[in-house]
Amino acid sequence: MKPIISLLLGSGFSIPEGVPRTLSLNNSLSKITESEIIIHGSQKAGLLRGEQNPNSRINWIERMFVQEFIEFYSAKESNNFNYEVFYDFYMGYLRNEKNKEAIEEFNHSFEVKHNLTGSSYSHDSKTNIRNFNRTFSQLLSDFLKSPKYYDDGEAHSYHYNSFINFIKETLLSYDIKIHSLNHDILFDWLGSKHPSLSEYFSDGFLLEGSPYYGNVYADFEDGITKQRIRKSYYAKLEQFANKFDKPLCLFKLHGSVSNKIVYTPLNNNVIIQPSEGNFGRIKDNYSVSDYYMELPDDKIPNRLSMRELMDRVEPDILTGKTEKMFQYDAGYYKLLFEHFKNNLTNSELLIVIGYGFQDDGINKRLEEYFLSKGKKMIVIDPFPPDTDLTRKYKPFPVPKSIEYVTAEDYSEIRRKYLTH
């Protein structure tokens, strides 16, 4: 059995690839207008990037609520908008009625302003905030998505060449556990599609044995008649199986824009999660629309049938400065954090890249299961964070952005801190 090293990736890891940094996300989300939002009848929402909205008259009130609620909060905070603090503000109301007076006063003013009182568009504050959260979470996800990460060709990014070479060489002697706090799927793409890494990569999801499928539509043109033909195919989707059984493992501690929760509708309209064995989470894929599960047929013995699923349209991500920590010890995320604990306990080195040490739940685990044992931590960041934790444990700093860390820098890390 090989020894282990762990990595922890924060948002700074993804910046060289063009994934928006937190300040950019705050700026974009704080200024969003209803004309930039599309909400479909299925409640799936997204950003319009110059396209016309074919449903501009539909869901106008819901889109306007998104714009005006963000404007209300931003003005309340003197335009110092932070989307994670904002998430805590309104989710605290849903959880235990924090900020009740301010939110309910806004909801009342909104209904009066748009003459909604007594109409079918009038909703109580909690309904409007739940609807808002469903849309807002999808908009946040949309800023972090890139179609190229769904391409099945090889993954290459010159920003990470030295980093990937370091991982490849280190895998000769170590198993590597990578823990990401990022919702984007940059490292998922590199790990699963880069020719130097893909054979070693595991993220807990498996295609083999998965009963999940999605519909994919494709248009073709007949080569002789030039007639357009539309086809629909079932595409098999990966399910979370809690299998991290390869040398390079990725743990998405704050979820992912590509993860989706699906449910099985029963005849009595009760909605349940699929069996506990697969945890009801699948990995979404590009252009997949409807979701199905292969299950025993209710009427014909020894036969399988495709049963349509319901899906939670918002992405499976954790956010908020404090709200996300309520999930660290629950269900699916409890499993991931158990792996985090075990990996830290068994690692001889921890490399932190682009993380500002602002998550109290993460910091607590870093200290309890790794730093307090006298083990070494390296921090790769152009502006190494100055926090209570870093002052106490004095990590070895590499004051560079990840794309500027050289092969010589990695050689020094191996020489000083790796024993195998």
- Whether residues 217 and 79 share a domain: the answer is no
Residue 30 C-alpha from the chain's centroid = 20
- Whether residues 212 and 345 share a domain: the answer is no
The whole-number pLDDT of residue 374 equals: 96
Pairing of strands 239-243, 304-308: unpaired
Among 145, 167, 183, where does a domain finish? 145
Q: Does 336 have pLDDT greater than 60? A: yes
Token digits of residue 345: 């306990």
Global confidence as pTM:
0.93
The whole-number pLDDT of residue 272 equals: 46
Query: Could you read off the pLDDT of 11-25 as tens digits, one per residue?
Result: 999 999 999 999 999
Residue 77: give the domain boundaries.
22-145
Q: Does 270 have pLDDT greater than 70? A: no
The whole-number pLDDT of residue 339 equals: 98
What is the CATH classification number for the domain harbouring 334? 3.40.50.1220
The whole-number pLDDT of residue 393 equals: 97
Map tokens 């001889």 to a residue: 348
- Whether residues 54 and 118 share a domain: the answer is yes
- Whether residues 250 and 364 share a domain: the answer is yes
Q: Does 86 have pLDDT greater than 60? A: yes
Kindly indicate the confidence band of residue 308, based on its pLDDT and cuts at 50, 70 and 90: confident
Query: Could you read off the pLDDT of 157-185 as tens digits, one per residue?
Result: 999 999 999 999 999 999 999 999 999 99
> Considering its fold, how many domains does the chain have in total?
3
Q: Collect all residues with Cβ–Cβ distance below 8 Å to 243 and sequence separation of at least 6.
A: 202, 204, 206
Q: Collect all residues with Cβ–Cβ distance below 8 Å to 77 and sequence separation of at least 6.
A: 85
Average pLDDT estimate for 238-260 = 96
Token digits of residue 129: 């905030």
The whole-number pLDDT of residue 266 equals: 58
- Judge whether 325 and 334 are in contact, CB under 8 Å: no
Token digits of residue 14: 């993804």
Average pLDDT estimate for 215-240 = 89
Q: Does 1 have pLDDT greater than 90? A: no
More confident residue, 86 or 42: 86
Token digits of residue 275: 């069996």
Percent of the chain whose pLDDT exceeds 70:
96
- Whether residues 279 and 385 share a domain: the answer is no
More confident residue, 338 or 58: 338
Q: Does 299 have pLDDT greater than 70? A: yes
Map tokens 């199986």 to a residue: 241
Map tokens 């807002």 to a residue: 136
- Whether residues 197 and 335 share a domain: the answer is yes
Map tokens 């449903």 to a residue: 55
Among 314, 334, 355, where does a domain finish? 314
- Whether residues 372 and 248 share a domain: the answer is yes
Average pLDDT estimate for 198-213 = 95
The whole-number pLDDT of residue 265 equals: 67
- Whether residues 195 and 213 share a domain: the answer is no
- Whether residues 26 and 61 share a domain: the answer is yes
Q: Does 304 have pLDDT greater than 60? A: yes
Question: Cα(46)–Cα(54) distance, rounded to whole angstroms?
Answer: 13
- Judge whether 178 and 200 are in contact, CB under 8 Å: no
Strand-pair partners of 349: 376
**Helices marked H in 39-170:** 60-76, 83-96, 100-113, 125-144, 161-170
Backbone φ and ψ of 64, nearest 5°: -65, -35
- Whether residues 48 and 197 share a domain: the answer is no
Query: Could you read off the pLDDT of 130-163 as tens digits, one per residue?
Result: 999 999 999 999 999 999 999 999 999 999 999 9
Among 293, 314, 335, where does a domain finish? 314
Burial classification of residue 212, based on how many CB atoms lie within 10 Å of its CB (0-12 exposed, 13-18 middle, 19 or more buried): buried
- Whether residues 331 and 417 share a domain: the answer is yes
- Whether residues 2 and 39 share a domain: the answer is no
Average confidence score pLDDT of the chain: 92
Token digits of residue 105: 């006063």
Maximum mean pLDDT: which of 32-46, 229-243, 306-320, 350-364: 350-364
Q: Does 328 have pLDDT greater than 60? A: yes
Q: Does 354 have pLDDT greater than 50? A: yes
The whole-number pLDDT of residue 277 equals: 40
Cα dihedral sign, 314-320-326-329: positive
In the three-class reduction of DSSP (H, G, I as helix; E, B as strand; rest coil), residue 376 is classed as strand
Lowest-confidence region among 132-136, 330-334, 378-382: 330-334
